[in-house]
Chain A
Amino acid sequence: MSTAALMSRGNGINQRFNLWILERVRQKRGSPELPFTLEYRHIYVMPTMFGFWFGILLALTAIGGLNFNNNMVLMLAFLLAAIAQLTSLLAYRNLSGMTLLGFRATPVFAGQAARFTVLLKNPEERLRFAIQLVSRESSDCTDIKLQATGRLELDLMTSRRGWIEMEPFRIENRYPLGLFRAWSVIIPKARCLVYPAPAPHPPPLPKTGRGDFGITRKGEGEHLHGLREYQPGDPLGRIAWRTSARHQTLYSKIMESPCEEACELNWYLLRGLRTEEKLSILTAWILRAEHQQIPYSLEMPATALPAALGEDHRNACLEILALFEK
């Protein structure tokens, strides 16, 4: 991803200010070592737009009070100014000590939003109100209870396959009155794998494999494969009533059928197409084969995987496609 990620949806000045801060953070601090605890030198505090106008209103009130030497007007204006000042400390305090534990991301297909989960721990004995994460494209907000860990999610739109780097984001809050914003810029070292986008109308699956691959299709068929504990969603007809009665738990029968077909997904089958189109079609085939529970093998110019089924196999295949020639 480009490093000049804009951090703000605000106006031009705001955007330039945020970019400047980001550049500073990049030079001074770079990506934080995890776990990363926010300390005073990581946190910035500035008035919000509302805080700015509120300050102007207070200043006008104070000038009026000074002019007429009206002590109650002055007292109120000064009190409110002190309160406002105090809230800037509280905004800072609401962030300081928060610990960034790590990032998680599950692979997505190009065109989908990559969802990064940020784990934020509150190691202290006080509640953290309305902690917000803001990136260029999305934001999230949560309260984090004492000594709890908050999971906040940031989405990032993807367009191309391969690794996508998580963009810089801000941890911020405007607690308690919205007059001040305290924030810290994080340049995360986290990435998400983006699979190629599956082709919308792929050619039919190349069912070229033979039945003696030795792999059976579990789930359907006439032969009993074994028993397992009942899981919600298992059809009623599959429940092994007799066994269940003996063990006082529900068991479902797993059936199997001998594998009659398999597909060989082969890079060289697809000719006359561009690389990305080929990858899209292969992705679509993998998904379809997985859906139809037909074992599939994958052969690429540099690597090959034997026929198999299941989540791990699927992910391994998709990863090869995602990182092909990258």
Chain B
Amino acid sequence: MTGPSQKATRWVIASLSFAMAPQLVKMPIPLVIMTLLPLMWRIGAEIRGWKPLPALVRHGATALALLALYFSYGSIAGRRAAISLLTVMLALKLIESYRIRDARLIVSFSLFLCTTQFMFNQGILMPIYGVFTIIMVLVTLTQLHRNEAYFAFDETPPVSVSLFSELGFSFRLLMLAIPVGLAFFLFFPRWVTPLWGIPEATLDAKSGLSDSMSPGSIQNLFMDDSPAFRVVFDGRIPQPSDLYWRGPVFWDFNGRTWRGGFYGKNLGVASQPEANEAPWTYTVQLEPNERHWLFALDYPATRPRHSRITIDFQILRRLPVTQLLQYSMVSDPVFVDSPELGVTLKNSALDLPVDSNPRTRKLIERWKSEGLDGQAMVRRVLTHFNTEEFHYSLDSPLLGRHSVDEFLFDTRTGYCEHYASAFTVMMRMAGIPSRIVTGYQGGWYNEIGQYLLVRQSDAHAWSEVWFPDQGWTRVDPTAAVSPLRIARGSLSAIPAPRHLLDYSWLRSFRNGVDIVQQRWNDWVIKFSADSQARMFSSFGLERLTPSMLVATLFVVIGLFSFLLLPFILRVKGPDRKDPLRAVWLKFLQRLKTVGFEALPSRGPIELAHSAAIQLPRDSRSIHHIADLYSRSRYSGTPPPLRQLKDAIKDFHPKKNTG
């Protein structure tokens, strides 16, 4: 047979299964079934010895898989769809692979599949996945090589290699390859601009805050512990109550859902704070989320590259964030946002659906008739939240048509978006222009890494009201209900665990361990053409040109080869490992210095005889050493090596002058 052995086939199956695991998790169910079925069949065929499937069945399965792919994704243009296609095809290839060629093809593409997964996730667990895939593939390829070499002969190879040594060999191979791989990674010239663009919709699902807010949407984020972004402050760190990271801003309300306003999205900002007076300087490392918003503290004085700032101070990137993105910001909290508001904007900040929430409207009318207005009205509403029986909780019932009415008078329990929404609606009813701002509030400061970690669970919603000359002013109704939320973070505001494994010690552990991910991002993921060019800037070389990089690459690899090649290609002679022989050679060397040349053909006793004749004064010690040596070498109970060593150390023959 020209096929791989059973053992090798199992490794092929295992490598492919391992490499496709992260992809399987993200694929639609029909495709997962179409991938797992051939895999299961092949495993069964290996165990039970089933016969190969007829071509009709195989082609039918392929057609079915293509159909499933088409109906799941609509097209195969997207990145995830293309990789799903590859995965399904590799699994289907498995059912017709009975040759070494096919096995090698599957294994090579398993590696390729592994690399494609890095397009979606470059988290700290991915390198481990990559290393395991490489080792499995190396073991498989080693076995396939032996199968190929021996396939023509029915005999088994004379030397059987244990799994342990195969794993050890693969691991050593990987370790030896790391220096050269690293040199290429550091010095291979990167492209400043990509040859082809990054497709717009690439990830599986957008994550984080969205372009609309309805009751429950931020609550869902509260369950999500994945990092949203990390911030390194340069200098002063703001108070927790100042850490409002502004994201999507909403103007339009349909009674249930808040959306961004047309003007808010499309008008550019009129004026920004002065950058040189702003107190907060920081760098944000935004995790990819497939969205356009860049998060910053109020009010951004600078504009990150490839982005624009809208009139309501949203920072929108031209392309969605598909990779870890780092940008530096300067913010000034002391700034008046729009001291004057145009009529159009004012109207859209007052607009409410007609006939909605009649009970709330009645309440506001009553307060109005009491003469409350402007700031006093704001305080009255906040006091209402604070003094009445309101709860800050995740378990809020679903709200119907008059959502604010139900919330204010019936359920009285909700998460930040309920309060922000109710507050904003009440302000609009009172004739005060207001809008909703969503974003993140707070974060966890990592003392060791000196950075602020903001998770999705820190998502928050608050309101802004507008008064002439004071401009837009932030009002956070949640703070009135649950001051803890602002001071201590979202998780302390709700004491009940969110899920089975939600303990505070585990959370602190996770926050602490995040530093590994942060360092990984800093050192590996962020590395780019720019950081490459400035690699030696601290040595006075401002920018490295590509040709300098290539030269460095050659120098480094040359140096490394010089150091490592003798080790790889070393010829292990018997002298190296035989301490007895080494000692004996020293003895021969001593004899040589006094003019006695030992013929290699002579045994120790014979040699001692002729040496003793030539050097009669040392004949006793010569015989003694030769005797020790031959006993060490040939006797069943050899004397300790120490004895011979000492004898030779004390052996100083004198030249025969006679």
Which positions in A face B, CB cutoff 8 Å?
Answer: 50, 53-54, 57, 61, 63-83, 85-87, 89-90, 92-93, 96-97, 124-127, 129-130, 132, 139-143, 145, 173-179
Contacts and interface: CB of A to CB of B under 8 A. Distances in A.
A126 B572 contact: yes
B372 interface: no
Nearest to A127: B159
A50 B189 CA distance: 28
Interface string B114-129: 1100110010001100
A182 to B, nearest CB: 12
B207 interface: no
A173 B145 CA distance: 10
Contact of A174 (B145, B574, B577): B145
Contacts of B323: 68-70
Contact of A125 (B101, B182, B528, B574): B574
A97 B571 contact: yes
Nearest to B524: A71
A174 B149 contact: yes
B539 interface: no
B49 interface: no
A70 B180 contact: no
B108 A54 contact: yes
B112 interface: yes
Given A75-B185, A93-B569, A177 B146 contact: no
B176 interface: yes
Given A96-B571, A174-B148, 17 more contacts: A50-B104, A57-B108, A70-B122, A75-B524, A76-B114, A76-B118, A76-B130, A77-B115, A78-B188, A83-B138, A85-B177, A86-B173, A87-B173, A89-B568, A130-B157, A141-B153, A176-B169
Among A70, A71, A87, chain B packs the most CB atoms within 10 A around the CB of: A71
Contacts of B142: 176-177
Interface string B133-151: 0100010011011101110
A142 B158 contact: yes
B196 interface: yes
A141 B529 CA distance: 49
A66 B145 contact: no
Contact of B528 (A69, A72, A139): A69
A130 B108 contact: no
Given A75-B181, A124-B572, A130-B149, A145 B119 contact: no
B70 interface: no
A85 B149 contact: no
Contacts of B145: 130, 174-178
Contacts of A178: 104, 141, 144-145, 148
B190 interface: yes
Contact of B159 (A65, A75, A81, A145): A145
Given A70-B323, A74-B185, A178-B145, A129 B122 contact: no
Q: Which 10 A-B pairs have the closest CB atoms?
A: A82-B177, A130-B149, A79-B181, A82-B180, A72-B118, A78-B184, A143-B159, A178-B145, A82-B181, A177-B141
A92 B571 CA distance: 12
A79 B178 contact: yes
The binding surface of chain A is classed by DSSP as helix
B163 interface: no
Contacts of A74: 185, 188
Given A57-B112, A67-B191, A85 B525 contact: no
Contacts of A71: 122, 185, 524-527
Interface residues of B, number: 63
Contact of A139 (B144, B152, B196): B152
Contacts of A145: 158-159
A16 B343 CA distance: 85
A128 to B, nearest CB: 9
A72 B524 CA distance: 8
B328 to A, nearest CB: 19
A129 B525 contact: no
B588 interface: no
Interface in B188-210: 188, 190-191, 194-196, 198
14 contacts: A50-B104, A71-B526, A72-B126, A72-B130, A73-B115, A76-B111, A76-B118, A79-B174, A86-B568, A89-B568, A141-B152, A141-B153, A143-B159, A178-B145
Contacts of A89: 565, 568-569
B152 A68 contact: no
Contacts of A83: 134, 138, 173-174, 177, 181
Nearest to A139: B152
Given A57-B108, A72-B524, A79-B177, A129 B571 contact: no
B174 A72 contact: no
Contacts of B194: 67-69
Contacts of B101: 50
A132 B152 CA distance: 11
